[in-house]
């Protein structure tokens, strides 16, 4: 690889050859990974629930860091409250959809 670069005429050609060789080695040993990002739209989760989730996560981080039993109790309360609110919103949304379908005769 390096011997080939010494024989080149110009600095640009030498650089391109060196860069190509390095990239070839990098791609062989550490290939680029690609990820699929899904659109995670959840109509049951509104802005109030998102705020509660942020607060829950904040308290969780503090409870882990400080190992405080009061913070753990608060985290558990917030965790259960968030889960309850999501279920309540989901039930409310499904009920509204069902009422609309029954009203317009599209319910099966």
What does the domain layout of the chain look like in residue ranges?
Answer: 1-34, 47-104
Q: Tell me the C-alpha distance between 59 and 53, whole Å.
A: 10
Compute, in degrees rounded to 10, the torsion defined by CA atoms 18, 23, 29, 34: 180
Q: Do residues 49 and 86 touch, judged by C-beta distance below 8 A?
A: yes
Q: Tell me the C-alpha distance between 26 and 36, whole Å.
A: 23
Longest pairwise C-alpha distance within the chain: 82
> Exposure string (b/e) for 68-78, b if CB count within 10 Å is 16 or more?
eeebbebbeeb
**pLDDT tens for the chain, residues 1 to 108:** 455 555 556 888 888 889 999 888 888 888 777 888 777 778 888 899 999 999 999 999 999 999 999 999 999 999 999 999 999 999 999 998 888 888 887 655
Is the full-model pTM beyond 0.75?
no
């Amino acid at each position: 690889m390096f011997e080939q670069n010494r024989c080149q005429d110009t600095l640009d050609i030498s650089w391109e050859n060196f860069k190509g060789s390095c990239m070839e080695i990098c791609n062989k040993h550490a290939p680029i990974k690609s990820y699929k990002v899904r659109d995670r739209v959840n109509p049951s989760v509104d802005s109030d629930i998102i705020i509660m989730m942020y607060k829950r996560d904040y308290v969780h981080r503090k409870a882990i860091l400080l190992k405080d039993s009061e913070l753990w109790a608060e985290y558990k309360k917030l965790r259960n409250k968030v889960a309850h609110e999501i279920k309540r919103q989901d039930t409310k949304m499904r009920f509204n959809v069902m009422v609309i379908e029954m009203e317009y005769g599209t319910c099966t």
